Amino acid sequence: MPKESNVPVYQRRNGIDPLPELVRMSKETPFAEVSGSAVLDWIATGPDVVKAVLSDADRFTGKPRPAHTMDGQPFDTGNLLHYDRPDHARLRKMLTAEFTVRRMRRMQPIIEEIVADRLAVLERAGQPADVVRHFAWPVPGQVVCGLLGLPRDDLADLARMLDIRSTSRAKKQATAVQALDRYLVGVMVRKRAEPSDDLLGMLIREHGEELTDHELAGIASFLVSAAVESTAQALSLGLLALLLHPEQLALLKERPELMDGAVEELLRYVSVVSTASPRTAVVDVPVAGKVVKAGQAVGCSLIAANRSETPDDPNLLDITRGTTAHVAFGHGVHFCLGASLARMQMRIAFARLLERFPDLRLGVPPEELRYRPFAPQYGVETLPVFW
């Protein structure tokens, strides 16, 4: 792993916050060339530029450049972020029906049950208890296992594979990717033999002839990674943000009707995905007065855009801020498919957590917390709490 001091400013943070240099860059040079990177040629930090690049599906592709592919295919077969139209539209259409707000509401009692169970586990763990281990990871993990029809008993192994894939060195990452692929291909083989009443079973029943086992496994891997890791870190960092801002925490406990707005503000504030997957120009593209040459890759800093978006001080956490056009879930055709599911889990999890533990507080000094600076989803390793 690289030393954090050698990592570009747009990939580093000070705890939850972006570095001051990145905030300045967003205001002063919202679109800038990148030097010394094998992955990016440009970085977009201003909100308007970020949205313009992410929404331009005609002149930018999500496919990794040839140097970052395997056998001419995207790293992750089935990863919708690496697909362009019409393949992206074809795959997304297959999944969209399962992620409508109406369908997600049917998940509410299941999420409530999972949250209640994990809160009991957290309490039995004793004080200080690690929210990440006992709550923030298992809640979305169990939700996704139920959605996809994966055995809950497999969750610990899945979490281990995902963690290695996100935070370890390249050799271990490759091993974890292969292990996850083998596991999910095995799941697909079993489900083809006996399709179940879940999302993966639906894909097999309705689209089984169009999709190979490897592509189905890739879709499952993409969904597991996006839905579990991102939501787990949004829960962890969101709770940490509230604990570090006791006046906001007290306000939310006093006025629980603010929960919807609080979730949006926390998503904006913590921006778990710091930088969106690179977009590569397929033609020369004028952007913010400069020209991105065909073949050059652009990174879009979501946290920089989110901390520059609001008219009031964007670096303040304010759960009464009201609706903001944040890009925590991305923007354009690759906007997060599971956004409504993630929001629902956050609303329920925070509400029940604060009801059960009204005196919740951080279990260690903030400076002792360890973060995941190199993971695709930024977060904390552990989050000890007292109540």
- Looking at residue 156, its pLDDT comes to 84
Cβ atoms of residues 22 and 45 within 8 Å = yes
Q: Considering only residues 107 and 6, tell me which one the structure prediction assigns the higher pLDDT.
A: 107
Convert the pLDDT of each residue in 119-147 to its tens digit.
999 999 999 999 999 999 999 999 999 99
Q: What residues form DSSP beta bridges with 51?
A: none
Closest CA to 345 of 97, 96, 142, 121: 142
| pLDDT score of 11 | 87
Share of the chain above pLDDT 70, in %: 93
User: Which segments of the chain does DSSP mark as H helices, in order?
Assistant: 20-28, 47-55, 87-96, 101-105, 108-124, 131, 138-148, 155-167, 170-193, 199-207, 213-224, 230-244, 246-254, 259-270, 302-306, 339-356
129 token code pair: 């208890």
Residue 1 has pLDDT above 60, yes or no: no
Predicted local distance difference test score (pLDDT) of residue 323: 67
pLDDT at 311: 65
Write out pLDDT tens, residues 169-207: 666 777 887 888 888 888 888 999 988 888 899 889 999
pLDDT digits (tens, 9 = 90+) for 235-245: 999 999 999 99
Confidence of residue 217 (pLDDT cuts 50, 70, 90): confident
> What global pTM score does this model have?
0.91
Q: Hunting for tokens 């670096």 — which residue is that? A: 315
What type of residue sits at position 252? Answer: L
Say what the pLDDT of residue 74 is: 42
Residues 74, 45, 228, 335, Cα dihedral to 10°: -70
Residue 5 has pLDDT above 60, yes or no: no
pLDDT in tens, 66-81: 644 434 344 457 888 8
Chain Cα centroid distance, residue 339: 10
- The CATH class of the 72-273+310-379 domain is mainly alpha
Amino acid 197: pLDDT = 86
